[in-house]
Structure 1
């Protein structure tokens, strides 16, 4: 059994609206015999008479009226479907799952989302706080679309890595400690300091920075949430080692001082996504927006 032809249905509705085959042919830019053929094939498909040709105009039969009434809804749904497909194809609509490591700035995230909403309001971003290694696993499994991860990561043919940001690490120190202009590993080793949990890339970076100066101090506290590290420093409980990009200097208390490290320590991050034969346009849209906030 053949499916309903939407072009034939449009022809019937146009005749119903305009009253004659000739007017419908002119409006649809079809030859009159083609209009007649459309109706003939549609009646054969429905196994029902749909139109009665009068002396001046064509009139719908009861079956024709039913088909025109419901057919209008079908054509509208068809137009909506075409628009949906086109939005998806152009990257203006879709759901994109993004995994973020603990070091991603809570200051940058709202700016990225605002840009995306302004540019592609139909794209929904679902954010998940996951570690870099877990992001890579979930990208391979297909449960994440994009990962904002620590760099470098082990090379794999399945995942494409693009450098995103390379931010200096700094010490957030209580001003009452009278910190030097540049904080060294030797100066910090004798004081309380806190940083990210051992499973994170930044813990490894900081440990290597201390080892470079032949220091092996243990942190006063380790956490996975940057805001908690800042709060510790505000309470004068410890220094906090953080990426400079995370710190909102305009809102920083005067009781705290930002000090760069000596030697300099950088925190690199990358954007990770699956290598796909047919890239998802919505994912490409989100990647493009996030990339704009790289350095």
Structure 2
């Protein structure tokens, strides 16, 4: 037995709603013989009489009433399915796997996710904490769709790298410390300071900042979570070197103070993604939101 024809079902429902074959034909933009053929074929397929033509209008039989009631659900489900397929094809719906390195601001992430949910509510993002090198490998293997990584990165086949943000690093210090206007490697090397653990890009940047001034101090503590580093300074335990946008919420907190570094230390980031976006059009929606949060100095 062949499957139910939804066009024929729609014709039956139109007759039930409008009362006559002629009115259904006009509403569906069909020729009257086509409407009659739809009903004839539908009755043959169901092996049941569905309509009885009266003088003024067609009446549903008991079998026709059942088919119309359940048929409405089928047509609604069919329309919903088509809409969902179209949303997925246009990128308005879908899952995007995003690798995020330790240096990405924990303040920016919620803002970006909120922006995406407002602009593209059907797009779901799955965040995965990864180092930059691991994110690049997983992009190449198709296990990630997008990654926010340290810059620069080696070129990789099929992967596009776009500069994203260039943010200054600053020192977050306990408020009780007598600190200079700008923190130098010499001054900080003589005090307790904490930073990101190896082998993150942040660790390498900070180590090189000290090394260029002739210092190789070891951090008091090395962590991967920015929030923990901020709490150390707030508890007067040590200084913390962090991206400026990570500590902007601390500007008016009484327990800490923020100082810029001298020489200036910048943290460049890039957005990496697979070049073939046709496999998952939702990626373009995520990239658009990331672009909104790109820094002007990229």
TM-score where L is the length of structure 1 = 0.91
Q: Which residue of 2 aligns with 1:246?
A: 246
Q: 1:8, 1:42 within 8 Å by CA — same for their partners in 2?
A: yes
| SS at 2:180 equivalent | coil
**In 2, Cα distance between the equivalents of 1:258 and 1:112?**
25
User: Which digits, 9 at most, give the CA deviation of each residue in 1:25-70, with x for residues without a partner?
Assistant: 1111211111112222323333443323333322333332332222
**In 1, Cα distance between the equivalents of 2:250 and 2:241?**
18
CA positional deviation for 1:116 = 1.8
| SS at 1:161 equivalent | strand
Q: Which residue of 1 aligns with 2:20?
A: 20
The CA RMSD over aligned residues, in Å, is 2.0
| SS at 1:157 equivalent | coil
CA positional deviation for 1:277 = 5.3
Q: Are positions 1:110 and 2:98 aligned together?
A: no
Q: How does 1:177-256 map to 2 (within 5 A)?
A: 177-250=177-250, 252-256=252-256
User: Which digits, 9 at most, give the CA deviation of each residue in 1:247-272, with x for residues without a partner?
Assistant: 12455533432222222111011112
Q: Which residue of 2 aligns with 1:44?
A: 44
CA positional deviation for 1:224 = 0.3
Number of aligned residues:
295
Q: How does 1:28-177 map to 2 (within 5 A)?
A: 28-177=28-177
Gaps spanning 5+ residues in structure 2: where?
none
Pick closer, same or farther for the CA change 1:44–1:13 going to 2, 3 Å: same
TM-score where L is the length of structure 2 = 0.91
Q: Which residue of 1 aligns with 2:287?
A: 287
